[in-house]
């Protein structure tokens, strides 16, 4: 059991997959066994991700048949899915069938939206198409590691990057009975959150030196946020969310405003959040308002607090590719295999990015 666990990555050429590959390269317990890319099978990993040349020189993307053969022959495996929503579910289902046929002890962490909802109807209502593997939904639990000590299922669906930042703020407010369950959120995300394929909203000349809102009060992650917040806190809430596109590549900054149930000072609210996240290695409640540069390219999230007696403000910053996606997925996978959850993730942010 001391041998490193073979790790498989799906959706191999996207930004989140690239970040997974970077984290796996330095992980003490996982070792890359294969990266799936039907479109670039046979192509070099370092050609798609030049910054990973030192880790994966000579390694190539594999097709599905090659991944199936390797997975079916492995005694245990970590399956990371960074495939797009609408694609991930059927692909995961197929590979889990392969693992089951070969008696492979496998855990999967899906970073897409496909297993974040409790049933296929809820998923279809948000994404407008049928779920790719409805029979598998019950095998996945959707939560942040900080909000669930142990997954009751063998597989985990990681919340989205905006959802991760918002949930870190709102869950302790609700769980501790600090705030009324109607919350107002403004958030800003970097361009990597929209994926690798250039589109109008993320094209650099359009986004550079600009800031604009999109999908106000209609962001598709809100139902996911509500479900995860209620599961973690026991409180049904309303979240009114206005997302923004920021002129930077990596990072998310969210500001949550909530009415206090009783008069509280900022220090009292801050102490309550510190108590809630005590023992959680990747969440820090800071004295000053947090800054993106202090967390970008790390798995840490920083939370700041202010209150005026009637209203509380909680701000959060995290890296959308790390804590909001790949890093959070590795953190969950560490837990699923019984490793220290900080394994491969404890490096501090580089700063001045």
In contact, 132 and 226? CB cutoff 8 Å: no
161 is catalytic: yes
Give the whole-angstrom CA distance, residue 319 versus residue 113. Answer: 18
Distance CA 247, CA 187 (A): 13
Order of strands across the sheet with 105-110?
30-35, 5-10, 76-81, 105-110, 155-157, 140-142
> Where are the strands (E) in 22-178, listed by range?
30-35, 76-81, 105-110, 140-142, 155-157
Q: Please give the Cα distance from 141 to 136 (Å, whole number).
A: 11
Residues ≥6 apart with Cβ < 8 Å to 82: 9, 10, 11, 12, 14, 16, 17, 20, 111, 112, 325, 326
* Residues 146, 165: Cα–Cα separation, whole Å: 12
Residues 163 and 311: their CA atoms lie apart, in Å, by 22
Q: Choosing from 108, 142, 161, 169, which is the catalytic residue?
A: 161
Measured CA to CA, the distance from residue 61 to residue 48 in angstroms comes to 10
DSSP 169: H
* Distance between CA atoms of residues 330 and 74, nearest Å: 19
Those residues with Cβ within 8 angstroms of residue 166's Cβ, 6 or more apart along the chain or in another chain: 185, 187, 225, 239, 241, 254, 256, 316
* Catalytic (active-site) positions: 161
């Amino acid at each position: 059991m001391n041998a490193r666990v073979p790790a498989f990555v799906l959706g191999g050429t996207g930004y989140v997959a690239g970040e997974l590959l970077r984290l796996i390269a330095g992980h003490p317990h996982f070792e890359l066994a294969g990266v799936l890319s039907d479109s670039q099978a046979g192509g070099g990993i370092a050609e798609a991700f030049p910054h990973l040349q030192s880790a994966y020189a000579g390694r190539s993307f594999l097709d599905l048949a090659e991944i199936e053969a390797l997975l079916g022959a492995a005694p245990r495996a970590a399956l990371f899915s960074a495939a797009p929503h609408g694609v991930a579910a059927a692909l995961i289902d197929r590979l889990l069938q392969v693992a089951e046929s070969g008696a492979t002890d496998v855990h999967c962490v899906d970073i897409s939206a496909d297993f974040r909802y409790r049933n296929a109807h809820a998923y279809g209502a948000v994404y407008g198409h049928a779920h790719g593997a409805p029979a598998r939904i019950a095998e996945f639990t959707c939560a942040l590691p900080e909000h669930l000590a142990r997954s009751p299922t063998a597989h985990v669906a990681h919340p989205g990057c905006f959802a991760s930042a918002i949930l870190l703020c709102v869950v302790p407010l609700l769980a501790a009975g600090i705030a009324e369950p109607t919350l107002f959120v403004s958030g800003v995300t970097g361009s990597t959150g929209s994926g690798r394929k250039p589109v109008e909203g993320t094209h650099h000349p359009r986004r550079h030196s600009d800031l604009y809102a999109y999908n106000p009060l209609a962001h598709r992650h809100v139902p996911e946020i509500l479900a995860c917040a209620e599961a973690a806190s026991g409180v049904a809430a309303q979240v009114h969310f206005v997302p923004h596109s920021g002129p930077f590549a990596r990072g998310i900054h969210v500001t949550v405003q909530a009415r206090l149930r009783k008069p509280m000072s900022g220090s009292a609210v801050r102490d309550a959040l510190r108590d809630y996240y005590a023992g959680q290695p990747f969440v820090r409640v800071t004295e000053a308002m947090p800054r993106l540069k202090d967390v970008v390219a790390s798995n840490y999230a920083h939370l700041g607090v202010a209150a005026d007696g009637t209203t509380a403000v909680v701000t959060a910053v995290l890296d959308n590719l790390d804590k909001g996606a790949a890093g959070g997925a590795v953190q969950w996978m560490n837990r699923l295999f019984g490793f220290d959850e900080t394994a491969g993730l404890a490096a501090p942010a580089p700063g001045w990015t």
